[in-house]
Structure 1
Amino acid sequence: MTEQTETLTGPADASVQIKREGYVATVTLSNPTKRNALSHWVLEAIGAACRVCERERMRVMILKATLQHGTWSAGHDIGELPLDGTDPLAHGSALEAAIAALRHAPFPVIAQVQGSVWGGAVETVVSCDIVVADESARFAMTPANIGLPYNTAGLLHFTDRLGISAIKTMFFTAQPVEAEDALRLGLIDQLVPSERIEAQTRELARHIAGKAPLAIAAVKEQLRVLSDMRALPASALGRISEIRRRAYQSPDFREGIEAFREKRPAVFGGGEGEAQTVGTVQLTQALRVD
């Protein structure tokens, strides 16, 4: 079976390798100096890899990472998050574009996960079609640790796999979900021993690649469209935008980033004065009798 490998190289030692074997492509992320953080370049390279796989008529793509100190990916590259009051997760962001590439790819994407997965990398994994992991896998949604308000599109991607209660627990506590719990909750689809994960993931990919690709592509696209059929009224979107804006323009967001860089616990004020005023206004409106 013909095997071809190409490597996209980025800043410092970041790279994304694309290995094609038959109709199966294995895309391997590597950003060692930053524990495989999802920098803008890495996210753009994920999109580029999806386009290469589509152009080469791949039928399945495996997304994996070279383990860095037990980490699959540390999530967003904190150093690239803006602190100038602009939305760090705005529509059209690099993370959103990479996830869209995975979800719109006309072939199944299998995430092969070993080690810990943090923040935006968790959304990347749950946006893949199938997740295979070993016992070392653990998933933590940590935006609350740095005061980052997650966006609606990202939360909706979690609802495709998890119940609301599980999503709340992950986002409110920022605590890691261990592999067995992740399997129970639906974060992962197959939990396999570490010594078997490479072989089992390839076996699954080859099995799918042997099926009718056009039929599978049609099913994937229909399921994507059905999962996206959750229209929100303009008033709700406006309110969500305002709540998020207050968070990423608050001193808490800057404090969270600085505390992360200084490796110390963050001390969040919560915008106490503003929050009290807003709460008073809302309570007054709720008690008003016209």
Structure 2
Amino acid sequence: MSDTTTMTTPAHDEPADTTPILTIAGARAEIRLNRPRHLNRLLPDDLDALMQLFDTIETDSAVRVLVLTGTGRAFSAGFDLGKVAERAAADAAQPSAGAAFEVVANRLEDLKLPTICRLNGGVYGGSTDLALACDFRIGAEGCEMFMPAARLGLHYYKSGIRRYVSRLGVDNAKKLFLTAQKIDAREMLRIGYLTALVPMKRLDSEVDALANILAGNAPLAMAGMKRAINEFARDQLDEAAADQRARDSMQSAEINEGIAAFKEKRAPRF
């Protein structure tokens, strides 16, 4: 059983399902969830693969921005509760379904580089938190979301609930979690779940434009400010570390280049 009961019928010409696919082009990395036959439902192997891909991306200094998206007509149907719980039951060392997914979502949120979720379609269950863990979410018209935890009898993991509350507010978090009702793209934009909503034909150009902006900014400064913003949202700010990063930035190569570029009226080269 997955987070959502929506299923698709495999077409003969559909590609085989695989674990997430990583492509890197210049400063941009893209991870694509790749189980379109089942609306990119996430299996235990996918969670393992995502953790490995995050490590690969973060250790590549040339990569400045990550885009997360899905193959086909949906972003993701969420995690497969049955499969993840089955693996946990077979091996006591494995985390529960919620805990396994929680680790992945938290790791994504804590990536040093900025992240964009390209919502090419519906986003359901656990994948709604995966998208929330990204810094930006750009959705195509026609996308939708719902969080069916209450309908499934599942108490969601605490950091996922915290992300909903800190990003969407208490009232919206209650509505989404406690009613388990589906909302459309316009409502997703209204409550702040989406950063931007565009026609499908403009989705790639909108994502590209934001990715180019982020890739062109100072990586160390962005990483430090992203960390501080996330810590503020969790009410866990490391004040000493944030102060030290701010002081260090005033003597960094980044600020020297930024000031030089401003004076010379050119784009900075970080």
Q: Shorter-chain TM-score: what band?
A: 0.7 to 0.9
Residues 180 and 21 (structure 1), Cα distance of their counterparts in 2 relative to 1, 3 Å cut? same
AA in 1 matched with 2:18: A
Match in the other structure for 1:140: 146
Matched, 1:73 2:76: yes
2:58 to 50, 54, 57: 54
Gaps of 5+ in 2: 1-15, 238-270
- One-letter amino acid of the counterpart of residue 201, structure 2: E
Shift of 1:89: 4.8
Query: 1:175 is paired with a residue of what secondary structure?
Result: coil
- Specify every segment of 5 or more residues in structure 1 that has no aligned partner in the other structure, as ranges: 1-11, 232-290
Between the two proteins, what is the percent identity of the paired residues?
30
TM-score between the two structures when normalised by the length of structure 1: 0.69
Judge conservation of contact 1:89–1:151 (CA < 8 Å) in 2.
Answer: no
Question: 2:138, 2:196 within 8 Å by CA — same for their partners in 1?
Answer: yes
Contact 1:14 1:32 (8 Å CA) reproduced: no
CA–CA distance in structure 1, aligned partners of residues 20 and 157 of structure 2:
27
Classify the secondary structure of the residue corresponding to 1:82: helix
**Aligned 1:18-57 pairs, distance under 5 A:** 18-57=22-61
Note the alpha carbon deviations across 1:114-149, whole angstroms, 9 max, x for none: 211111000100111000101121110011221111
Residue 116, structure 1, aligned to residue 99, structure 2: no
Give runs of aligned pairs for residues 129-208 of structure 1, distance below 5 A. 129-208=135-214
Following superposition, the deviation at residue 181 of structure 1 comes to 0.7
Match of 1:64 among 65, 69, 75: 69
Alignment-mate amino acid for residue 95 of structure 1:
F
Partner of 1:82: 85
User: For the residues of structure 1 that align with 2:85 and 2:31, how far apart are their CA atoms?
Assistant: 28
Q: Deviations over 1:208-264 (max 9, x none)?
A: 101111110010111122222269xxxxxxxxxxxxxxxxxxxxxxxxxxxxxxxxx
Identify the residue that residue 250 of structure 2 maps to in structure 1: none
1:127 corresponds in structure 2 to 133
Cα distance between partner residues in 1 of 2:218 and 2:74: 35
Q: Which moved more, 1:207-216 or 1:26-35?
A: 26-35
How many residue pairs match? The answer is 215
* Most deviating of 202-211 and 12-21: 12-21
2:168 alignment partner AA: L
Instruction: Tell me by how many angstroms 1:88 deviates.
Output: 4.1
Residues in 2 aligned to 1:66 and 1:211: alpha-carbon distance in whole angstroms: 29
- Distance in 1 (alpha carbons) for counterparts of 2:39 and 2:198: 23
Mapped contact 1:89–1:150 kept (Cα < 8 A)? no
Q: Deviations over 1:72-100 (max 9, x none)?
A: 2111213225387x98455xx22112112
Q: Is the 8 A contact 2:102 2:157 kept in 1?
A: no
Distance 1:81 1:19, change over 3 A: closer
Q: Which residue of 1 aligns with 2:261?
A: none
TM-score (norm 2): 0.74
For residue 15 of structure 1, report the CA deviation from its aligned partner: 2.4
How far 1:168 sits from its partner (Å)?
1.1
Q: How does 1:266-281 map to 2 (within 5 A)?
A: none
**For 2:168, what is the secondary structure of its paired residue?**
coil
Q: Over residues 265-288 of structure 1, what are the superposed CA-to-partner deviations in whole Å (9 max), with x where a residue is unaligned?
A: xxxxxxxxxxxxxxxxxxxxxxxx
| Amino acid across the alignment from 2:78 | G
* 2:159 counterpart SS class: helix
SS in 2 for 1:94: helix
Q: Distance in 2 between matches of 1:176 and 1:160?
A: 20
- What is the Cα-based RMSD across aligned positions, in Å? 2.0
Letter in 1 for 2:138: V
Structure 1 counterpart of 2:233, from 218, 227, 234: 227
Question: Counterparts of 1:203 and 1:215 in 2: how far apart (Å)?
Answer: 20
Shift of 1:172: 1.7
